[in-house]
């Protein structure tokens, strides 16, 4: 144990932040707001909270540290618990949506920004905390931006700030790259503490594989793989970090790498140091934490590590020993798509500042190299200078409801670090009105107050509450849980296995009584839950057991929220359960309704009139000609617009709901919003 402690201390004592420990603690003591900046990897996230705890800040309350990404919150908490030699969940814990690993004793709480926002709803004065650390502010996630505005609003005013508190709250805002002047000015010219850090030069080269015409192709995975192998066979020792966009792509790249690296004839000398095998490690959001831990371990002697990651490795997590970067130039991003009027997870070119950040990962401890697979034209024509803050590109519906419930009536003049376009705010108000969450005067309704309690998207919550009012919440609870976890259907890489899995999934769909993707989710949930050996059942049916286990837990948590609320109107319904189920879905998804127009093409009814196709993963794919009206959960845009998770409906069920999409006058709502 003592050697472990020595090793740990030795490592954390070498981080750039360590020399500034005393001054940092002093700076936090001296003012309400403090901005801290420093290169990624300097020790902000893992060390600063420990310093504050050692300095006695935990005596007055907990310290919370927000992260925009759920994996980061979990991984960092694990790391800090390890450094402090305590059990995760005791002194150091984490809380992310549907997974709370904290206890009464928790002093350092790493949590997602979304979770802290929910806590503000229950306790606007944040009375349990002595320090709130907003971390990774440069990422400009929607929830972090809103928290910044709220904290500024409440805690800039000394008397307001002490309401319901025994001691003043400290707010520390940490950022890797963002212009600190802007942050400091926003927070009333608060002090800035910059942690000086040394970085080493990174040589960047552009490639030929991706040009302005390749925005839609995913051929770059092959290119990335061959570059990684080139680096492996011709460059000096040092680990490789590859940036791709998501799980499927990463798994494919790892499979390819594995195949090809196997066939390399090892035993050659690369300049001064022998490099033998290649250790290939994927890193993405939804992978098991056990596997994630491996990423941080140094590779065995003579072996080169190659981490294939999403953007999470750009700033949230720092892997030591990286000397080579391979940059695909793409990222998965949630964007509001005005063509279909919905938020869509899209693969888009990264910004130039993002590209610099990625390259910088190779220069932490010595000079490094960054290989970009895209051309100069791609850099110049397709990549924006900066990444647009999430608040300016995604739906604000949930956030606006939260603000309204916090008593922020004027959501247009809220202190935004960068205000979203007014039409996005109006769009959110309109949606809330359509869901009956606010009234014509922009005031939160009883239903709105109930809706805000659920960590789900508003439409899904609306459907769930409708079901609850009919006493059939069981159906929607399971569906909501299934839609809140990662993909549950296994897609094997091998074509034969793929066929087998497809067959099995089709059988599950057919079993669910009338083909309907929501029904399939429900049926998978119920069948697995009632099976004697659920994990074996999953294996037999090509279902991810881990995902289903989470779904079970999520369902219980949603049920608890519902039980706590209880007080909602009860409506009677005479009809069969299947119809009731689909009618409840209509109440939440009438904004996502489409009618078949010609052939297999459907036309959405939300005023956008987009032409959409049913995605091949749906059990209704190839049955289009038998359908008339459908509703859908989400949309995927490639060369076509696809809808996924589809349910056939009848026009009568949405007849009274659809006019709502056009009835509301946004100007009326906006004049109220500006009051």
Chain residues that interact with ligand ADP, rule: CB under 6 A: 15, 38, 40-47, 75, 79, 296, 318, 320
Question: Which region, judged by CB under 5 A, interacts with Mg ion, from 42-50, 83-91, 387-395, 500-508?
Answer: 42-50
SS3 111: strand
3-state secondary structure of 349: strand
For residue 121, give every residue at least 6 positions away whose Cβ sits within 8 Å of its Cβ, in sequence order, or none: 402, 405, 406, 452
Collapsing DSSP to helix, strand or coil, 129 comes out as: strand
Taking CB under 5 A as the binding criterion, the range among 38-46, 288-296, 602-610, 640-648 that sits at the site for Mg ion is 38-46
The verdict on 67 binding Mg ion (CB under 5 A) reads: no
Nearest to 248 by CA among 506, 501, 71, 491: 491
Closest to 72 in 3D by CA, of 332, 305, 294, 283: 283
Main-chain dihedrals φ then ψ at residue 331, nearest 5 degrees: -145, 155
- CB atoms under 10 Å from CB of 422, counted, come to 13
Q: Which does 68 bind (CB under 5 to 8 A by kind): Mg ion, ligand ADP, none?
A: none
Annotate each residue in 152-181 with x if it binds Mg ion (CB under 5 A) or - if it does not, as one string.
------------------------------
- Closest distance of CB 38 from Mg ion, Å: 9
Nearer residue to ligand ADP within complex by CB, 85 or 320: 320
Q: Are 379 and 209 in contact (CB under 8 A)?
A: no
The site partner of 412 among ligand ADP, Mg ion, none (C-beta below 5 to 8 Å per kind) is: none
**Contact by Cβ (8 Å): 36, 217:** no
- The answer to whether 525 touches 489, Cβ cutoff 8 Å, is no
**Residue 45 touching Mg ion (CB under 5 A):** yes
What is the smallest separation between the CB atom of 547 and Mg ion, expressed in angstroms? 28
- Nearest distance from residue 75's CB to ligand ADP, in Å? 5
Cβ 224 vs Cβ 244: under 8 Å: yes
Separation of alpha carbons 602 and 444, rounded Å: 34
Nearest to 415 by CA among 33, 153, 626, 102: 153
50 is an interface residue for Mg ion by CB under 5 A: no
112: partner contacted, choices Mg ion, ligand ADP, none (Cβ within 5-8 A by kind): none
Measured distance CA(461)–CA(25) in Å, rounded: 43
Determine which helix (DSSP H) or strand (DSSP E) holds 96, and give its type and residue range. Answer: strand 92-96
Q: How far is the CB of 14 from ligand ADP (least distance, A)?
A: 9
Min CB(43)–Mg ion separation in Å: 8
d(CA 86, CA 93): 10
Q: Which is nearer to ligand ADP, 47 or 645 (CB)?
A: 47
Which of ligand ADP, Mg ion, none does residue 75 bind (CB under 5 to 8 Å by kind)? ligand ADP
The size of the chain, in residues, is 675
Q: In whole angstroms, how large is the CA radius of gyration of the chain?
A: 26
For residue 46, state whether it binds Mg ion (rule: CB under 5 A). no
In terms of CB distance, is 296 or 552 closer to ligand ADP? Answer: 296
- Interaction pattern, residues 191-230, with Mg ion; x per rule: CB under 5 A: ----------------------------------------
Min CB(76)–ligand ADP separation in Å:
6
Nearer to ligand ADP by Cβ, of 82 and 260: the residue is 82
66 lies in the binding site for Mg ion (CB under 5 A): no
Q: How far is CA 583 from CA 211, 293, 435, 604, 658, in A?
A: 47, 45, 15, 18, 13
Nearer to Mg ion, 317 or 612 (CB): 317
49 binds, among Mg ion, ligand ADP, none (CB under 5 to 8 A by kind): none
Closest to ligand ADP by CB, 47 vs 592, is 47
- Interaction partner, residue 42 (ligand ADP, Mg ion, none; CB < 5-8 Å by kind): ligand ADP
From the CB of 317, what's the least distance to Mg ion, in Å? Answer: 8
Residue 333 makes contact with Mg ion by CB under 5 A: no
Smallest separation, CB 31 to ligand ADP (Å): 21
Q: H helices of 263-331, where? A: 289-296
Question: Residue 613's closest CA among 641, 647, 632, 649?
Answer: 641
* Binding partner at 618 among Mg ion, ligand ADP, none, C-beta below 5 to 8 Å by kind: none
Eight-state DSSP code of residue 362: T
Q: Are 474 and 484 in contact (CB under 8 A)?
A: no
Q: Does 144 bind Mg ion (CB under 5 A)?
A: no
Report the nearest approach of ligand ADP to the CB of residue 135 (Å): 7
* CB nearer to ligand ADP: pick between 295 and 508: 295
Strands 611-614 and 602-604: antiparallel
Nearer to Mg ion, 73 or 187 (CB): 73
356's tokens: 């610099």
* β-bridge mates for residue 94, sequence order: 101, 110
DSSP code at position 226: H
Size of the site for Mg ion (CB under 5 A): 2
- The nearest distance, CB 44 to ligand ADP, in angstroms, is 3
Q: How far is the CB of 549 from Mg ion (least distance, A)?
A: 30
Report the nearest approach of ligand ADP to the CB of residue 401 (Å): 32
- Residue 46 contacts which entry, ligand ADP, Mg ion, none (Cβ below 5-8 A, type-dependent): ligand ADP
Cβ-contact 363, 654 below 8 angstroms? no
E runs forming strands in 20-73 = 33-38, 62-67
Residue 286 CA to chain centroid, in angstroms? 10
The residues binding Mg ion (CB under 5 A) are 44-45
């Amino acid at each position: 144990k003592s050697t472990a402690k020595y090793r740990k201390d030795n490592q954390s004592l070498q981080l750039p932040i360590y020399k500034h420990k005393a001054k940092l603690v002093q700076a936090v003591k001296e003012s309400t707001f403090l901005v801290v900046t420093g290169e990624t990897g300097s020790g902000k996230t893992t060390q600063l909270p420990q310093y504050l705890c050692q300095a006695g800040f935990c005596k007055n309350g907990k310290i919370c540290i927000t992260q925009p990404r759920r994996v980061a919150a979990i991984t960092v908490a694990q790391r800090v618990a390890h450094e402090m030699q305590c059990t995760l969940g005791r002194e150091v814990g984490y809380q992310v949506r549907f997974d709370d690993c904290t206890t009464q004793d928790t002093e350092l709480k790493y949590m997602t920004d979304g979770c802290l926002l929910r806590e503000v709803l229950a306790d606007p004065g944040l009375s349990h905390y002595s320090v709130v650390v907003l971390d990774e502010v440069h990422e400009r996630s929607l929830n972090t931006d809103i928290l910044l505005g709220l904290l500024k609003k409440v805690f800039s005013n000394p008397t307001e700030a002490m309401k319901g508190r025994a001691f003043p709250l400290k707010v520390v805002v940490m950022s890797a790259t963002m212009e600190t002047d802007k942050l400091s000015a926003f927070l009333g010219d608060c002090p800035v503490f910059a942690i000086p850090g040394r970085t080493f030069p990174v040589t960047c080269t552009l490639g030929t594989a991706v040009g302005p015409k390749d925005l839609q192709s995913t051929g770059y995975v092959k290119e990335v793989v061959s570059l990684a192998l080139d680096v492996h066979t011709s460059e000096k020792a040092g680990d490789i970090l590859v940036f791709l966009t998501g799980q499927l792509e990463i798994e494919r790249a790892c499979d390819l790498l594995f195949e090809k690296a196997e066939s390399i004839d090892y035993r050659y000398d690369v300049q001064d140091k022998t490099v033998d095998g290649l250790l290939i490690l994927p890193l993405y959001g939804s992978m098991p934490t056990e596997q994630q831990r491996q990423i941080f371990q140094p590779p065995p002697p003579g072996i080169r590590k190659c981490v294939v990651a999403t953007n999470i490795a750009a700033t949230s997590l720092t892997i030591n020993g990286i000397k080579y970067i391979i940059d695909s130039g793409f990222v998965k991003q949630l964007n509001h798509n005005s063509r279909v009027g919905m938020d869509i997870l899209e693969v888009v070119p990264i910004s130039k500042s993002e590209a610099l950040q990625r390259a910088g990962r190779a220069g932490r401890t010595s000079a490094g190299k960054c290989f970009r697979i895209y051309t100069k034209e791609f850099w110049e024509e397709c990549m924006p200078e900066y990444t647009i803050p999430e608040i300016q590109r995604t739906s604000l519906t949930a956030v606006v409801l939260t603000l309204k419930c916090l008593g922020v009536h004027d959501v247009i003049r809220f202190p935004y670090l960068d205000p979203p376009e007014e039409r996005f705010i109006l769009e959110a108000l309109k949606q809330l009105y359509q869901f009956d969450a606010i009234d014509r005067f922009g005031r939160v309704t009883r239903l709105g107050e109930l809706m805000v309690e659920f960590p789900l998207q508003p439409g899904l919550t609306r459907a769930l509450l409708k079901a609850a009012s009919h006493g059939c919440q069981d159906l929607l609870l399971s569906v909501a849980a299934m839609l809140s976890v990662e993909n549950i259907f296994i897609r094997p890489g091998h074509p034969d296995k793929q066929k087998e899995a497809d067959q099995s999934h089709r059988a599950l769909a057919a079993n669910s009584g009338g083909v309907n993707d929501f029904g399939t989710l429900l049926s998978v949930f119920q069948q697995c839950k009632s099976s004697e050996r659920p994990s074996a059942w999953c294996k037999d049916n090509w279902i991810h057991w881990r995902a289903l286990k989470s779904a079970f837990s999520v369902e219980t948590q949603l049920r608890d929220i519902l039980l706590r609320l209880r007080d909602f109107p009860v409506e009677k319904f005479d009809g069969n359960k299947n119809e009731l189920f689909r009618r409840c879905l209509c109440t939440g998804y009438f904004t996502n309704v489409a009618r078949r127009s010609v052939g297999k093409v459907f036309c959405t009814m939300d005023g956008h009139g987009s032409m959409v196709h049913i995605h091949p993963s749906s059990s209704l794919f190839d049955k289009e000609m038998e359908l008339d009206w459908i509703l859908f959960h989400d949309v995927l845009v490639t060369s076509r617009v696809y809808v996924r998770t589809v349910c056939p409906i009848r026009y009568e069920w949405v007849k009274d709901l659809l006019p709502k999409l056009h009835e509301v006058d946004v100007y009326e709502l906006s004049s109220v919003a500006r009051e």
